[in-house]
Homo-oligomer: A and B are copies of this chain.
């Protein structure tokens, strides 16, 4: 495919997955790391360099053997990279790595370009008194962080009160420190950004869940996050990365605060744990993208789309040396799970040994698939299960103009339950709460929802107005009100103007509204379709049974047995 050779500083799991991508394009990757490092195991040629990615001489040797040099870790000697940059392409740029490897400098840099980050104060070489002043200014808790060599929670300390300062300073002794204002975040988001020679592209916005400061789970797309926020996160991530020099993928971790504000938390100038899901879930993975970006190969934007919702679960070293193997073995039994073991020798507790990605037609199915694995890794880690199974994300919203419509909806809701369709019920009156209906409808398409059922009586504007503000299919269930037998509602739903259809079912027939929602979901989800088919077959059998009884008993007997 390409005669150019790529050199990588470091051959751990990120280097290994980059080699997987390169192998498929027959591009040679020379790894600088110890013999039999994870990346070297799957790449057999004589171009690898033995040594540490911290060793200047080895880096110079690597540079001589390659056309482009990249990194799988930012904690590298940027002086040497600066030096070799005259002879070989280095991506990302050494200056980018120099800024990013110092977290305080990174924040300062972002701030200077107008990218929102948490407030921070330099504490390098400062006294206990200065640490107390931070507490007075920021309040408690605040974050104490090492500027350098900090990752996966190492080099971080949450200072909970003034009394804890001594302990914190002891824990992070001899490290260059800075303090950061506590970010009271609702959730953590992340976006993988691809910087090519002439474009900045973003993968979808995902949700990350950390435990003990280590990434545990990644949900793609982020659950319950509006399209507007997801797009804002992508824009912010792209803006942040556009301030740096050098091609490749970058991981941008963000806080979503309670008020909807986004702050950049941290940037990784390389493939990132929060982007592993892309291997199965996107046509082009973060590793494909990194390789293409540093080699100026094309990247069609469509390649960054999400094929199916995905959940990534890290497999860490556990209580025993083979804990991670047990987790992987369990994953073999799980439908929709793809397993990645990194070929690392020793499993220390907390060491990243592999990961599992589940992709499924809906996030709720993915959540059901992965739940036993989450429980298992928690158990293997000797932890009580903290991650309570989140309620499955609703696929259907049943909205009504008034709670008086709820009894009519009951049979429909029971059908949805029976067919295991996650749904939510909301009261959104078109006339009494028009703004709320508008807000709900506008957000619907960017949530987990795929279908909306709207029930209303009388003038029954609810489903029609909802349809006007969303691109999702809206089903109308006319409710028989005091007058006109429900025909008023039936007409106001079916007779919508050309442009905004309402899929109208019979008066008071919430059963059919629910079944129509199931058919719509089933149009793209074969599992749902199969459940519906089974249910319909059950109904058919029941009618055939009754017919048999009628035939055997005769109509008079049958009527009697009906009590009529």
A257 within 8 Å of B (CB atoms): no
Oligomer copy total: 2
**B residues in contact with A308, CB < 8 Å:** 307-308
Q: Contact check, B341 vs A524: say whether CB atoms are below 8 A apart.
A: no
Q: Contact check, B506 vs A505: say whether CB atoms are below 8 A apart.
A: no
| Shortest Cβ distance from residue A408 to the other chain B in the assembled complex, whole angstroms | 12
Which listed residue (B283, B471, B526) contacts A338, Cβ 8 A?
A: B283
Q: Contact check, A512 vs B496: say whether CB atoms are below 8 A apart.
A: yes
A549 within 8 Å of B (CB atoms): no
**B residues in contact with A494, CB < 8 Å:** 478, 490, 494, 504-507
Q: Contact check, A335 vs B25: say whether CB atoms are below 8 A apart.
A: no
A328 within 8 Å of B (CB atoms): yes
Q: Which A347-363 residues have C-beta < 8 A from chain B?
A: 359, 361
Q: Contact check, B475 vs A503: say whether CB atoms are below 8 A apart.
A: yes
- CA A256 – CA B492 in complex, angstroms? 51
Q: Interface stretch among A194-202, A264-272, A376-384, A514-522?
A: A514-522
Q: Contact check, A333 vs B539: say whether CB atoms are below 8 A apart.
A: no
- CA A36 – CA B329 in complex, angstroms? 31
1/0 per residue, CB under 8 A from B, across A175-191: the answer is 00000000000000000
**B residues in contact with A513, CB < 8 Å:** 501
Q: Which A292-320 residues have C-beta < 8 A from chain B?
A: 292, 297-303, 305, 307-308
Q: Contact check, B303 vs A471: say whether CB atoms are below 8 A apart.
A: no
Q: Contact check, A471 vs B529: say whether CB atoms are below 8 A apart.
A: yes
Q: Contact check, A23 vs B41: say whether CB atoms are below 8 A apart.
A: yes
A34 within 8 Å of B (CB atoms): no
A483 within 8 Å of B (CB atoms): no
- CA A513 – CA B499 in complex, angstroms? 10
Q: Contact check, A515 vs B533: say whether CB atoms are below 8 A apart.
A: no
**B residues in contact with A300, CB < 8 Å:** 333-336
A76 within 8 Å of B (CB atoms): no
- CA A302 – CA B333 in complex, angstroms? 10
**B residues in contact with A61, CB < 8 Å:** none
- CA A522 – CA B467 in complex, angstroms? 14
Q: Contact check, B26 vs A343: say whether CB atoms are below 8 A apart.
A: yes
- CA A465 – CA B536 in complex, angstroms? 14
Most buried by B among A25, A303, A337: A25
**B residues in contact with A445, CB < 8 Å:** 529, 533
1/0 per residue, CB under 8 A from B, across A478-498: the answer is 100000000000100011101
Which listed residue (B23, B292, B325) contacts A332, Cβ 8 A?
A: B292
A223 within 8 Å of B (CB atoms): no
Q: Contact check, A42 vs B23: say whether CB atoms are below 8 A apart.
A: yes
Q: Which A505-564 residues have C-beta < 8 A from chain B?
A: 505-507, 509, 511-513, 515-516, 519-526, 529, 532-533, 536, 539
**B residues in contact with A391, CB < 8 Å:** none
Q: Contact check, B526 vs A341: say whether CB atoms are below 8 A apart.
A: no
**Provided the pairs A332-B297, A471-B536 are in contact, do residues A502 and B501 lie with their beta carbons within 8 angstroms?**
no
Closest to A494 in B: B506
Q: Contact check, B507 vs A504: say whether CB atoms are below 8 A apart.
A: no
**B residues in contact with A45, CB < 8 Å:** 41
**B residues in contact with A505, CB < 8 Å:** 494, 496, 501-504
A81 within 8 Å of B (CB atoms): no
Q: Contact check, B332 vs A298: say whether CB atoms are below 8 A apart.
A: yes
A438 within 8 Å of B (CB atoms): no
Q: Contact check, A341 vs B516: say whether CB atoms are below 8 A apart.
A: no
Known: A471-B533, A503-B516. 8 other contacts (CB 8 A): A1-B339, A20-B20, A40-B44, A473-B523, A474-B519, A475-B503, A494-B506, A498-B511
Task: List 17 interface pairs A-B (beta carbons < 8 Å), by A numbering.
Answer: A44-B44, A283-B335, A283-B336, A283-B338, A283-B359, A292-B332, A300-B333, A300-B335, A302-B336, A307-B359, A472-B522, A473-B523, A490-B494, A494-B494, A498-B511, A499-B511, A499-B539
Closest 5 pairs (CB-CB, A-B): A302-B335, A503-B503, A524-B524, A501-B512, A473-B519
